[in-house]
């Protein structure tokens, strides 16, 4: 399997420089083979008909990628009407979707219910709202198992310092509200946070959720969440998540639980990053090199409007320098700070990074940019969001979203 952008085959019949010449920079490039491989890995995590994978759309909602993910047999999670709308356009059936709401209006819930999609609520007040708009309906409850995980405090979504989920201690209140509105609790779900490379907190979370789940006799599914990490420091030897180890532990816990529960229940996971991160690379061009006092800045068109993660979470993405279409050897390194073209001092892609000596005109490839890359892009500074292309299985490439145009910036005015 080819999952390495350092490998020329990642680029199909092309190379990063040719792609930029053809489609402009910055540019998101996705590799179909990698994407399909990651979908298969997740689908094969547990070999049971009761197991399924809900792709977490927020990681990357390009419709062409959604179609591939659907073609690989995954279902999906949605967090907004927009995501539901696009998932349906990509061919997903409402029954394949789970909507995981957080602080949403009754109107939004009505939209979701009207589209035949199961709703998960994550507070007692949202359960009340749901009861009022859909008395007698089916609902899933997002619990907060009390343990969180994640690569940064901003993405830890369980435990006692987050807005998400209902603590298990409020289980009786959940039941009382459900009874008042004759609601059927068909699912329990959780998501403890984003990016773990050590499965321990995830397993702890699963155990905690299952203890709660056993107290609901009408379950159709238990959704144990996403968060499966990828090794962003891949060129520095960071190890992959041990999926086989995780699978063995999960299998044992779930089978045991089903025995106690007395019947089989569907089990879902909700990976976003794991499915799409490694299939995507963000390409950009070096436009200036300067030394400001003691810091050497590599100035590029890869602003924080096109990749927010480094600014928002101090996230690390490997950067590979290409000249004349080939990657430069990384033996010779100098310490530089790679910045974008946005009017903020915080617009930093990589601080104090050891990089091959770079020249103006070189191409930079930001690896593992497929998840929370384009989906967090903005038009800040009225910069145009980049194009996205797909390197297809046959080695060709296809434009799957055009770059914004200046006219797009006028689209919502009267
Ligand atoms: N399920 C729920 C309810 C979620 O909120 C999320 C992510 C996922 C599943 C998928 O998590 P994943 O498998 O991708 O870790 N922007 C941040 C990540 C925010 C994740 C938010 N929720 C980043 O760039 O690291």
What does the pLDDT look like over 135-189, one tens digit per residue?
999 999 999 988 888 888 988 888 888 999 999 999 999 999 999 999 999 999 9
pLDDT at residue 11, as a whole number: 95
Q: Which mutation among 201, 226, 230, 268 tests ligand 1's pocket best, with the greatest number of atoms within 8 A of CB?
A: 226
The alpha carbon of 396 and the centre of ligand 1 are apart by a number of angstroms equal to: 31
**Which residues face 121 on adjacent strands?**
141
Contacting residues for 76 by C-beta, under 8 A, at least 6 apart = 54, 55, 56, 57, 66, 69, 70, 83, 87, 92, 96, 97, 98
CB 68 within 8 A of CB 49: no
Contacting residues for 308 by C-beta, under 8 A, at least 6 apart = 372, 376, 377, 378
| Cis peptide bond prior to 26, omega within 30° of 0 | yes
pLDDT at residue 3, as a whole number: 53
C-alpha closest to that of 139 among 131, 147, 149: 131
Ligand 1 neighbours by CB, cut-off 6 Å: 56, 58-59, 77, 100, 155, 157, 191, 194-195, 225-228, 270-274, 309, 313, 372
The pTM (predicted TM-score) of the whole model is: 0.97
Catalytic residue among 237, 244, 331, 343: 343
pLDDT at residue 2, as a whole number: 45
Separation between Cα atoms, residue 249 and residue 241, nearest integer Å: 14
C-alpha closest to that of 139 among 89, 179, 167: 179
CB 33 within 8 A of CB 393: yes
From atom 16 of ligand 1, which residue's Cα is the shortest distance away?
Answer: 372
- Residue 57 in tokens: 């759309």
The alpha carbon of 308 and the centre of ligand 1 are apart by a number of angstroms equal to: 14
DSSP 8-state symbol, 36: H
pLDDT at residue 7, as a whole number: 79
- Residue 289 in tokens: 């090199």
- Residue 235 in tokens: 């060129």
pLDDT at residue 159, as a whole number: 87
- Which ligand 1 atom minimizes the distance to the CA of 226? 13
pLDDT at residue 160, as a whole number: 87
DSSP 8-state symbol, 241: P
From atom 2 of ligand 1, which residue's Cα is the shortest distance away?
Answer: 191
Q: Which mutation among 195, 272, 370 tests ligand 1's pocket best, with the greatest number of atoms within 8 A of CB?
A: 272
The alpha carbon of 202 and the centre of ligand 1 are apart by a number of angstroms equal to: 14
Q: Could you tell me the mean pLDDT of each successive run of 10 residues in the chain, 414 residues long?
A: 69 96 98 98 98 98 98 98 98 98 97 98 98 98 91 88 93 98 98 94 96 98 98 95 97 98 98 98 98 97 98 97 90 93 98 96 98 98 98 96 98 96
Separation between Cα atoms, residue 259 and residue 93, nearest integer Å: 31
Q: Is 195 left (phi over 0), alpha (psi -120 to 50) or beta?
A: left
- Residue 343 a catalytic site member: yes
- Which ligand 1 atom minimizes the distance to the CA of 271? 13
pLDDT at residue 280, as a whole number: 98
- Which ligand 1 atom minimizes the distance to the CA of 150? 15
Separation between Cα atoms, residue 103 and residue 121, nearest integer Å: 9
pLDDT at residue 48, as a whole number: 97
């Amino acid at each position: 399997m080819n999952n390495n952008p350092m490998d020329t085959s990642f680029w199909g019949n092309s190379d990063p420089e040719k792609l930029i010449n053809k489609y402009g920079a910055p540019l998101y490039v996705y590799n179909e083979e990698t994407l399909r491989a990651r979908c298969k890995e997740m689908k094969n995590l547990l070999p049971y008909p009761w197991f399924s994978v809900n792709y977490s759309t927020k990681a990357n909602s390009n419709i062409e990628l959604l179609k591939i993910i659907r073609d690989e047999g995954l279902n999906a999670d949605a967090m907004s009407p927009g995501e539901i709308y696009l998932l349906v356009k990509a061919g997903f059936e409402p029954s394949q979707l789970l909507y995981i709401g957080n602080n949403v209006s009754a109107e939004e819930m009505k939209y979701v219910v009207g589209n035949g999609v199961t709703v998960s609520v994550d507070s007692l007040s949202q359960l009340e709202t749901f009861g009022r708009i859909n008395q007698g309906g089916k609902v899933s409850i997002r619990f907060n198992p009390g343990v969180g995980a994640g690569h940064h405090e901003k993405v830890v979504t369980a435990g006692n310092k987050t807005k998400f989920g209902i603590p298990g201690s409020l289980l009786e209140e959940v039941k009382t509200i459900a009874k008042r509105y004759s609601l059927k609790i068909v699912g329990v779900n959780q998501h403890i946070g984003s990016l773990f490379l050590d499965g321990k907190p995830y397993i702890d979370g699963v155990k905690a959720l299952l203890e709660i789940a056993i107290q609901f006799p009408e379950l159709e599914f238990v959704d144990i969440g996403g968060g499966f990490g990828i090794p962003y420091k891949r060129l520095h030897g960071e190890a992959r998540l041990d999926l086989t180890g995780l699978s063995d532990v999960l299998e044992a816990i779930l089978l045991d639980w089903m025995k106690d529960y007395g019947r089989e229940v569907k089990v879902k996971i909700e990976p976003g990053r794991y499915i799409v991160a490694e299939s995507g690379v963000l390409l950009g061009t070096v436009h200036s090199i300067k030394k400001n006092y003691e810091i050497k800045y590599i100035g590029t068109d890869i602003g924080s409007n096109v990749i927010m993660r480094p600014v928002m979470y101090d996230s690390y993405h490997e950067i590979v320098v290409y000249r004349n279409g080939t990657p430069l050897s990384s033996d010779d390194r100098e310490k530089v700070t790679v910045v974008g073209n946005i009017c903020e001092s915080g617009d930093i892609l990589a601080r104090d990074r050891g990089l091959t000596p770079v020249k103006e005109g070189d191409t930079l490839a930001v690896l593992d940019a497929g998840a929370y890359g384009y989906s967090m892009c903005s038009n800040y500074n009225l910069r145009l969001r980049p194009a996205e292309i797909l390197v297809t299985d046959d080695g060709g490439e296809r434009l799957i979203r055009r770059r914004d145009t200046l006219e797009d910036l006028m689209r919502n005015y009267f």
